[in-house]
Amino acid sequence: MSDLLFFFEVTLAGLGSGALLSLTALAFVLIYKATRVINLAVGEMLMLGGYLFFAFAAGFGLPAWAAIPLAIAGGGLVGAVVERGLIRPMLGESPIAVFMVTIGLGSILVGLVELIWGTDPRALPAFMGNTPIFIGEAYVSRKIAIAFAVAAVVIAVFLVLFRYWRGGVALRATATDQAAAYSCGINVPGVFSLAWVIGCGTAAGAGVLLGSIGGISPAMGVFGLSALVVVIVGGLDSVAGALVGGLVIGLIEAWAGTYLGGEFKLVTTFGLLLVALMIRPYGLFGTTEIERL
């Protein structure tokens, strides 16, 4: 019985980090869908979000309710600048070149953060409280539970906007056929900017959640790698794939980390990636058009 309870607790924790993975994967998918750019800097945007929150909350002493939106807005602003300054001028270049630019961008962000805040990990000012939450008899860390709930709400809001908001229609139209979107009067470059702003803002928000669970460090961008696995497994352009894939990978990492040992976490993730790529190269939910990289 207690074995089962323990398994249940591990599973809940896995779902918690899975929800964060889903959220981060959603940032990837949003940017990819609209602009066909694989933004490898999403992990670093997430890290930047954590540090921006740290700067506003610890540096300027702002309360969490002000620091969180500021961190998200800061992430969105960086997204806008990057899209206008780096990505749009490369329109029409080979996808690999753009992909490389986002890798470079990631390194620049890490470098900047190290310059300003140093390389040591830091704890974020607590704003979630510590009282554990029990589901039946199973214990869940309060922070993980809150992160799960917030991620779930944000994802739900995204799904609704995607489906019913007029801007969501513009985004999906642009994703399906750029020329046709132009021909309908949709401001396609505007959609690109919007996708980068929302995507990077989302990643920054995920960074705040992740940082308040495990602290922040310049290396926390590796979380983006797991999210990358999620989108490759789930399909680069599939929102459903990001959601399901995030939860699945979160669960598997939690189980592998607990029962096989922490060093197996990433090994299992990437093993899964290989298997998934062999079975369905375009992702479990993706469209059957293989992106050559």
Cβ atoms of 78 and 200 within 8 Å: the answer is yes
Distances (CA, A) of 227 to 23, 117, 221, 246: 9, 25, 10, 7
The residue among 178 and 268 lying less far from other proteins, judged by its C-beta, is 178
By CB under 8 A, residue 181 contacts other proteins: yes
User: Around Cβ 57, how many Cβ atoms within 10 Å?
Assistant: 23
The residue among 182 and 264 lying less far from other proteins, judged by its C-beta, is 182
Cβ atoms of 242 and 234 within 8 Å: the answer is yes
The residue among 11 and 178 lying less far from other proteins, judged by its C-beta, is 178
Question: Strand ranges (DSSP E) for the chain?
Answer: 133-135, 138-140
Q: How far is the CB of 11 from other proteins (least distance, A)?
A: 34
Q: What is the 3-state secondary structure (H, E, C) of 110-167?
A: HHHHHHHHCCCCECCCCCCCCCCEEECCEEECHHHHHHHHHHHHHHHHHHHHHHHCHH
By CB under 8 A, residue 85 contacts other proteins: no
The residue among 125 and 189 lying less far from other proteins, judged by its C-beta, is 189
The residue among 180 and 275 lying less far from other proteins, judged by its C-beta, is 180
By CB under 8 A, residue 282 contacts other proteins: no
Taking contact as CB under 8 A, which single stretch among the options 48-56, 183-191, 242-250, 255-263 is the one that binds other proteins? 183-191
By CB under 8 A, residue 166 contacts other proteins: yes
Taking contact as CB under 8 A, which single stretch among the options 166-174, 208-216, 255-263, 273-281 is the one that binds other proteins? 166-174
Q: Which residues bind other proteins (CB under 8 A)?
A: 92, 166, 169-170, 172-173, 176-189
